[in-house]
Chain A
Amino acid sequence: MPTRDAVIELLREVPDPEMPISIVDLGIVERVEIDDTNVTVDILPTFVGCPALAMIQDDIIKKLRTLDDVDDIIVNFMYEPAWSVDRISAAGRESLREHGVTVPQGGSDIHSMIKQTATVPLRTSAIPCPFCESKSTRLDSAFGPTRCRMIYYCEACRNSFEHMKRV
């Protein structure tokens, strides 16, 4: 019978298919249950119907198959509790930052920024650039390479970077 720790350690080796972060650091692993030789993993999708879910499911099953004495591996997806960017670990935030993706700070509220849209240009932000830490950054587009990310631009070092949507 596999131990819970052994399962978690293996899940740490399963990366998100679209970002340089493990699914454990991303905070989407809600629960691991071991019943004799059967393992159940509950996953919280970041976004409803995220197209990476099927791949994550396959990757988890493949990875846990490497354990000895495992029969059934079940991966469930659920919306309750809701995933939030606040579930991303400190190590996960650092790994994302190194790759140019910033994460909203705990308790920050995107809505307060949005209400500035009455002016043109649309909005500025206080989100520090992951490369040079300047706060002279602005939202370029609320839609980016995946459904969970937006595109920002740093006026100081003239780099684009990505910022995760606050959900």
Chain B
Amino acid sequence: MSMFRDAVSMTALATVTKTALLELLLSVADDKLMLGHRNSDWTGLGPILEEDIAFSSLAQDEIAHAQALYELAATVDEHQRSADALAFARSPGEYRCAQIVELQDEFNWATALARQLFCDHFDHLRLGRLSESSFTPLAQLAKRLGAEEQVHVEHSDAWVMRLGRGDAESNARMQAALDALAPQAVMLFEPVQHIDTLVREGLYPVAGDMFEQWKQEITSVCTAGTLHVELAPPDPTVLGGRQGAHTSELTELLDEMCAVYRLEPDAKW
């Protein structure tokens, strides 16, 4: 059931544009697919029933968002791979997600929430930029996704503040999780490949300093929760997920997530 049957004439885009656009779309979709998968780890194991449901819903949202983005990516892929093939049939080095979404939280509730805080604010800001994209089908989709992502941001903010203001133990655990994940979190901002083309052609337009805005949002939530966080822009000499550098945890995650797909890649569901 494709949403993009007659979206635009994709053939009108130059090859160089399609290549850049695919990088961009995969980075967004891969972030969402892996984060959604990690969110689903909490199904049945959430600390309270509402959060069990919340993390299951977050997973459902993120994976649905990823699916729509892979469908769009399939329309600009020069190799004409299907959305399923893009999601499940690449080698680990071909994924473009940041490493923070592939790492396990080891069922540490504070780690799970710190990751949500960093990723949800980033995703929401990124969708805002994408909703101004010169690639109309992406702009329309991003606008819809942004409205849904807003609820995720609120959920993360509420819980980080709640734990920060809880008692000494919850505060200490939340603080430790923020400190541990902050260096990974800033790598969400590692530029995707062909970023110059994407910005120049208005596919991923610049709207102010996104890093500063993100830092400000995170800091204000932390301050309200009597927590603090140190965030510096990523070191441009460090290679991360946007360039295909991943941890062994991504390989393990893919082995689990793609187990059924790999049994019969051409199966129709």
Contacts and interface: CB of A to CB of B under 8 A. Distances in A.
Interface stretch (A12-20, A22-30, A45-53, A130-138): A45-53
A144 interface: yes
Given A53-B1, A141-B53, A165 B224 contact: no
**Count class of interface residues, chain A:** 20 to 34
B54 A141 contact: yes
Interface in A48-73: 48-51, 53-54, 57
B155 interface: yes
Interface string B1-14: 10101000000000
A9 interface: no
A49 B161 contact: no
Q: State the main secondary structure of chain A at its contact with B.
A: loop
Interface in B1-50: 1, 3, 5, 50
Contacts of B224: 117-118
A152 B43 CA distance: 21
Interface of A: 47-51, 53-54, 57, 76-80, 82, 110-111, 114, 117-118, 120, 122-123, 140-144, 147, 150-151, 165, 167
Given A79-B143, A141-B53, A142-B154, 17 more contacts: A48-B64, A48-B65, A49-B65, A49-B67, A51-B64, A54-B1, A76-B5, A77-B1, A79-B3, A82-B140, A82-B143, A110-B150, A118-B224, A122-B162, A141-B54, A147-B60, A150-B151
Interface of B: 1, 3, 5, 50, 53-54, 56-58, 60-61, 63-65, 67-68, 140-141, 143-145, 147-148, 150-151, 154-155, 157-158, 161-162, 165-166, 224
